[in-house]
Amino acid sequence: MYQYIIKRVLLTIPTLIGAAALVFLLMRLIPGDICVIRLGSGGGSFDPKAVAACHAELGVDRSYLIQFADFVWGFFRLDFGTSMWSGKPVATEIWARLPVSLEIAVLGTVVAIAIAIPLGTISALKQNTWIDYVVRVFAIGGIATPSFWLGIVSVLVVLDVTNAVFGTPWMPPIDYVPFWKDPIRNLSMAILPAITVGYRYAAVSMRMTRSAMLEVMREDYIRTARAKGLVNKIIINRHALKNALLPVVTLIGIEFAFLIGGLVVTEQVFNLNGVGRLFVQAVQNQDYTLTQALVMLTVTVFVITNLLVDLLYGWLDPRIRFS
């Protein structure tokens, strides 16, 4: 087991360095120059000397190899430097936007789990009944619905309903207030985005729960449990669900890591100032340091989630642990 853990941990290093190389290369392939964007915001021509000075200040006049080594070394020391655009430390920039995105991601996951696991289980236990069909249609609808459209429509519905009920249209707030300061305002901002993100996520997990559950219910040990007269509730909770949840846990983990990408669109719809927005701005401003840091952040989350899922698997499934 220890060997397995060490091997898995070591395998993350080439992935991280590969991702670093990829984002480094991609950013430098994008035509344009941050110094020209910065100096040229007023329009007209500008002094080549000023551009050169700006390059020297940002360190982009050094050779690519040194820049890359600097970036990777910084990443391993958790020092991401300063944003080329705002001049503030990258960590500060990200830290300011992280709570909004994180809250939506976590809430979205909670929504997904709360919907997916009970519905998926019921759907499998009542296979080929009307409940099963309703759940399956609901699930396949979640996969087919674009989350940004669901966002637009949900705001529209909220506007119309509040207008009809209270006489004045109400829009969810777009500025972030910490939960402990004003829980109602905080939740009223986060709940709609969380549901739009969570629906698709729930749909995918629901299908997985259902299929895993169906497979497990056919296993011999379920028949044995029934034969020895166990109560149905115990069979389902202890014998079936616990084993069926393995692939679901994997899926939830991986989807959580992918959520960051999905948040770019959701934050756009709800006009929220989160990490997804920052990402788009950073790429558009050619802010190398900020983009690189954000990509490394998402990739690290992805790699760590994958790692944890693998290790959790080993822990949940003794067959993997002892093989």
Partner 1 sequence: MSITMPNTGVPAAEALDIRPTLTKRALRFCRREPLGTFGLALVIIMAITGFTAELIAPYNPTANDFASMTEAPSWSHLLGTDQFGRDLLSRIIYGARTALIVGMSSAFVGGAAGLVLGVGSAYFGGKLDLILQRVFDVVMAFPLIIMALAVVSIFGTGVHNVIIAITIPLIPRCARVVRASALTVREVPYVDAARALGFGHARIILRHMVPNVMAPFLIMVTAFVGQAVLAEASLSYLGLGVQEPVPAWGLMLQGGAEEYASTAPWIAIFPGVAIMLSVLGINLFGDALRDALDPKLRDR
* Ramachandran area for residue 32 (φ above 0: left; ψ -120 to 50: alpha; else beta): left
| Partners of 89 in beta bridges | 82
CB 244 within 8 A of CB 212: yes
Task: Choose, by CB under 8 A, the member of 24, 27, 193, 245 that binds partner 1.
Answer: 27
Considering the complex, state which of residue 186 and residue 286 has its C-beta at the smaller distance from partner 1.
286
Q: Which of 5, 30, 52, 174 binds partner 1 (CB under 8 A)?
A: 30
| Least gap, CB of 228 to partner 1 (angstroms) | 26
Q: Of 106 and 307, which CB lies nearer to partner 1 in the complex structure?
A: 307
Asked if residue 82 binds partner 1 (CB under 8 A), the reply is no
Least distance to partner 1, CB of residue 1, Å: 22
Residue 322 DSSP one-character state: T
Among 22, 56, 66, 234, contact with partner 1 (rule: CB under 8 A): 22
Separation of first and last alpha carbons in the chain:
8
Nearer to partner 1, 158 or 230 (CB): 158
State the minimum distance, in angstroms, from the CB of residue 231 to partner 1: 26
Neighbour tally for 271: CB within 10 Å: 12
What 8-state DSSP symbol labels residue 238? I
User: Shortest distance, CB of residue 229 to partner 1, whole angstroms?
Assistant: 27
Interface mask toward partner 1 for 232-261; x: CB under 8 A: -------------------------xx-xx
Q: Which two tokens stand for residue 105?
A: 């991601």
Q: Which is nearer to partner 1, 169 or 178 (CB)?
A: 169
Site for partner 1 in 169-228 (CB under 8 A): 169, 210-211, 214-215
Tell me, what DSSP letter sits at residue 82?
Answer: B
Other C-beta atoms lying within 10 Å of the C-beta of residue 225: 19
- Asked whether 177 and 189 are in contact (CB, 8 A), the reply is yes
Near partner 1 in 278-317, by CB under 8 A: 279-280, 283-284, 295, 298-299, 302-303
* Residue 273 engages partner 1 in binding (rule: CB under 8 A): no
Residues of span 99-138 touching partner 1 by CB under 8 A? 127
CB of 53 to partner 1, least distance (A): 25
Q: Name the minimum Å distance from CB 143 to partner 1.
A: 6
Contact 266, 147 (CB under 8 A): yes
- Dihedral, CA of residue 32, residue 37, residue 40 and residue 43, to nearest 10: 80
Contact between 196 and 149 (Cβ < 8 Å):
no
- State both tokens at 73: 């070394």
Which is closer to partner 1, CB of 67 or CB of 186?
67
Q: Is 160 in the site for partner 1 (CB under 8 A)?
A: yes
- Paired tokens of 149: 């459209």
HEC profile for 22-70? Answer: HHHHHHHHCCCCHHHHHHHHHCCCCCHHHHHHHHHHHCCCCCHHHHHHH
- Alpha helical stretches, state H, 126-240: 130-144, 147-166, 183-217, 220-227, 232-234
Report the interface residues with partner 1, using CB under 8 A: 11, 14-15, 18-19, 22-23, 26-27, 29-31, 127, 140-141, 143-150, 152-153, 155-156, 159-160, 163, 169, 210-211, 214-215, 257-258, 260-262, 264-265, 268-269, 279-280, 283-284, 295, 298-299, 302-303
